[in-house]
Structure 1
Amino acid sequence: MPKIRVRSLSKVFGNNPTPALKLRDKGLKRPEILEKTGMTLGLSKIEFDVNEGELLVIMGLSGSGKSTLIRCLNRLIEPTEGSVEINGQDIVKLDNKGLLRFRRETFGMVFQHFALFPHRTVLENTEYGLEIQGVDKGSRAKKGLEALQLVGLEEWADAYPDQLSGGMQQRVGLSRALAADPDILLMDEAFSALDPLIRRDMQQELLDLQTRMKKTVIFITHDLDEALNLGDRIILLKDGEIVQEGSPEEILTHPANRYVERFIEGVDMTRILTANAAMTPARAIGYLNDGPRTVLHRMRENGMDRMLITTRERKLCGLVEADVLNEAVKRGDRRIQDLLITDLHKVSEDEPLNNLFPLFDERSYPIAVVDEQDRLKGVVVRGSLLAELAQAATVESGQKDNKQAQPEGEHIV
């Protein structure tokens, strides 16, 4: 079961949403509905799942509905129709008392503006949510300090917000959300008010925290680079509707329509595309307990002059070359362990493509793509990398050509 399950979620801003929904169901879009009814269709039939431990980014331009969506998830804004299930519980059906309790136990929220109390210390600000929950003073001080340690601010516990930089203040906001150990973090344009350098630092801070804590995070942004940097998956909104949903790589390589194409214009594709895009299965491999004759025979069958060697569980051991095996056969050797070249380059599937090319040297050995247990997933050879880089350049060039060909006066708004 997904951690969060959203189905048919819609929001109409207006006193009588029924006419707006009827027009929506007839195929009219937000501008026509506003013109005919005076009501704004904030969200329309939103559906998506979020798995536990996933960092989902919801992005779009101003007015796309992203902030409305995140506030419907915890009912700070009441949905007009649809369901929001958290761990199987539809929070749309909760009464006010049940909703308040559910929010306190489930959600932590971080806003664009830090919303810190100027008359409270950093620690007191961090403890605030626990104080509202009725946690005793000693316990909340302990949990508050632990949360400050997570964001590297424990030494500033007795300082006041006006003594901190903007980035530090946002860390306090994050620590306040983390102090109650919420199941789900909702982050609404959390880094948008920060300077670019501090913003990048905070993005890395969040990724580091996510590696350690494995929270379920929904992050709202209008910034494409931020979305690509943070998101396991991205949902792109336009006029209250989902335009495309997918991994950063899927959105960059297979934009759903012209709107998405224009949204991703100018992105350095080689920074985003990963080893997975250029990886191919190893055509044939040898096993560590094979003898030189066996591996040599397998090489000849497959027309290869070198071969990767793994254990039976596919854990990478090294590479062996045909001429070395021929000499071993002449000597009567029966083991290949001492014949292996082990100084191979290994990368994970999510290694950016532009980091791979410098790894090739005059030997042109393939780059092994491995998982966290060092098991072989595939290989990247120089030719496939060049092909993928060329494809990325073609996509970027096409985007630029399309942009130049676009009639004047047509803009994304």
Structure 2
Amino acid sequence: MSTAMTTMDSPTTETPVFSVSGLWKVFGPKPERIPADQELSALDPAGLRARTGCTAAVRDVSFDVRKGEVFVVMGLSGSGKSTLVRCLTRLIEPTAGTIAIDGEDVRAMDKSRLRELRRHRAAMVFQHFGLLPHRTVLDNVAYGLEIQGVGKAERRERAAEVVAKVGLEGMEHRRPAQLSGGQRQRVGLARALAVDPEVLLFDEPFSALDPLIRRDMQDEVARLHREEGRTMVFITHDLTEALRLGDRIALMRDGRVVQLGTPEEIVGSPADDYVREFVREVPREQVMTVRTAMKPGDCGGPDHPGALAPDAVVVDAIKTVADIGTPACVAEKGKCVGMVDHERLLGVVAGVTTPAAAPDAAVGAGSRAAGAAPVPQKAAPDKRRQATPPSPRTSPEGPRTSPEAV
């Protein structure tokens, strides 16, 4: 049975892997004046550019990335998502705001400490691979370890292990030109994994791949996360990809986060018309869960064979109710917590049932999710993750604001 991730309700004092607060990145003359000036910071992109010559690629963004989750930053071209992920390790210097990794101030790091962060703690996987054409697969994967000063025998041994992990065993001695696009992307992923980073940063890594290969790579990322539980920050413009991979999604527009929540929260409770239009063509039954549709209460039976889990997706629940011909029990830890019938399930599909807002759903620019909570391990990619993105005809994409705001 397919399951969907849900938001954990109980807060914890565990330090987030990344904590971002009031982050700005402004391109143009005297950029530091923009965040400090209430009037200038309130201008829309066109007004700000006309008045100051500046472009705010990231505007007052705040969020926490929890240990072990896949945190997706999603937006159309020009939304600021790629600028944002580069600010996390100061590949692009922020203009204002705070960034912390495990509680340590990233903006206060000197050059030596920053190199250590990039080499050991946060590895990046780029869209265009960045492989060295004269090196073999094995030596490309071992390159990060070589930079760290790891001995040749040890780094080649570790590289071989990771090459096998990403499904390239037997190709260790090929060069990038001898590989397909998907295989080259696997080499890039293996290179990032080889240094055993605490967090993986993905900047639209699969957008240049063919659809079937892209799907395979998404499955590969989901598998690695399921097996290792490694924290991931994933940048994408693809709504389908965001819904398949993300535990939580930050949806950006014009440098701001317009909504932050689980896939179910984004689809079920869009924050505004922009988000609503974005998710309008998503099949709700593949994202929304039984918890949204059920009527709380006890079925009264002594046991609950064949009961639905609260996190089962609605499309599976519809089949179950159709098969048994009666309302189905929803059970958690052996206890009935509610009932669900055709009427309530179809109400969710039609969008007439409003799901309860989870405590950590955050809406609006600069908003932050509530205290970090433990993230359960993600199930294998399932029907919930097959949602269809909006067609170009209905896409809310506006004009690109700046070459830098990507």
Q: TM-score category by the smaller chain?
A: 0.7 to 0.9
Gap runs ≥5 in structure 2: 1-14, 354-389, 400-406
Residues 375 and 142 from structure 1, CA distance in 2 versus in 1: closer, same or farther, beyond 3 angstroms? farther
Residues 22 and 32 from structure 1, CA distance in 2 versus in 1: closer, same or farther, beyond 3 angstroms? farther
- Alpha-carbon contact 2:307-2:328 (below 8 Å) kept: no
Partner of 2:195: 180
SS at match of 2:142: helix
Partner of 2:114: 99
Letter in 1 for 2:63: F
Match of 2:230 among 215, 232, 237: 215
Partner of 1:390: 347
- Alpha-carbon contact 1:6-1:46 (below 8 Å) kept: yes
Match of 2:289 among 261, 271, 274: 274
* Counterpart-to-counterpart distance in 2, 1:142 and 1:409: 47
* Counterpart-to-counterpart distance in 2, 1:56 and 1:388: 28
Post-superposition Cα deviations, 1:219-270, rounded to whole Å, max 9, x if no partner, equal: 0001111111110000011111111100111111111111111111211111
Letter in 2 for 1:358: K
For the pair shown, which has the larger CA radius of gyration, 1 or 2?
1
Post-superposition Cα deviations, 1:270-308, rounded to whole Å, max 9, x if no partner, equal: 1111222223444266xxxxxxxxxxxxxxxxxxxxx04
Post-superposition Cα deviations, 1:20-49, rounded to whole Å, max 9, x if no partner, equal: 334555521222111111111111111000
Partner of 2:125: 110
Partner of 2:250: 235
Matched, 1:6 2:52: no
Matched, 1:18 2:32: yes
Structure 1 residue 162: Cα displacement: 1.8
Residues 190 and 45 from structure 1, CA distance in 2 versus in 1: closer, same or farther, beyond 3 angstroms? same
- Alpha-carbon contact 1:367-1:381 (below 8 Å) kept: yes
Partner of 1:160: 175
* Counterpart-to-counterpart distance in 1, 2:184 and 2:153: 24
* Counterpart-to-counterpart distance in 1, 2:115 and 2:157: 24
Partner of 1:139: 154
Residues 369 and 22 from structure 1, CA distance in 2 versus in 1: closer, same or farther, beyond 3 angstroms? same
Residues 109 and 379 from structure 1, CA distance in 2 versus in 1: closer, same or farther, beyond 3 angstroms? same
Where does 1:115-130 land on structure 2 (aligned, <5 Å)?
Answer: 115-130=130-145
- Alpha-carbon contact 2:81-2:235 (below 8 Å) kept: yes
Letter in 1 for 2:216: D
TM-score by length of 1: 0.78
SS at match of 1:92: coil
Letter in 2 for 1:390: G
What do you get for the CA RMSD once the two structures are aligned? Answer: 2.4
Residues 282 and 395 from structure 1, CA distance in 2 versus in 1: closer, same or farther, beyond 3 angstroms? closer
SS at match of 2:185: helix
Deviates more, 1:195-204 or 1:17-26: 17-26
Match of 2:319 among 352, 358, 362: 358
Partner of 2:105: 90
Letter in 1 for 2:207: S
- Alpha-carbon contact 2:284-2:348 (below 8 Å) kept: no
Residues 242 and 363 from structure 1, CA distance in 2 versus in 1: closer, same or farther, beyond 3 angstroms? closer
Residues 284 and 364 from structure 1, CA distance in 2 versus in 1: closer, same or farther, beyond 3 angstroms? closer
Structure with greater contact order relative to length (CA < 8 Å, sep ≥ 6)? 2
Partner of 2:8: none
SS at match of 2:107: helix
Partner of 2:51: 36
* Counterpart-to-counterpart distance in 2, 1:143 and 1:409: 44
Gap runs ≥5 in structure 1: 286-306, 310-317, 319-343, 397-402
Match of 1:345 among 282, 300, 306: 306
Post-superposition Cα deviations, 1:122-160, rounded to whole Å, max 9, x if no partner, equal: 111111111111111111111111111221112211112
TM-score by length of 2: 0.79
SS at match of 1:154: coil
Residues 111 and 380 from structure 1, CA distance in 2 versus in 1: closer, same or farther, beyond 3 angstroms? farther
Partner of 1:381: 340
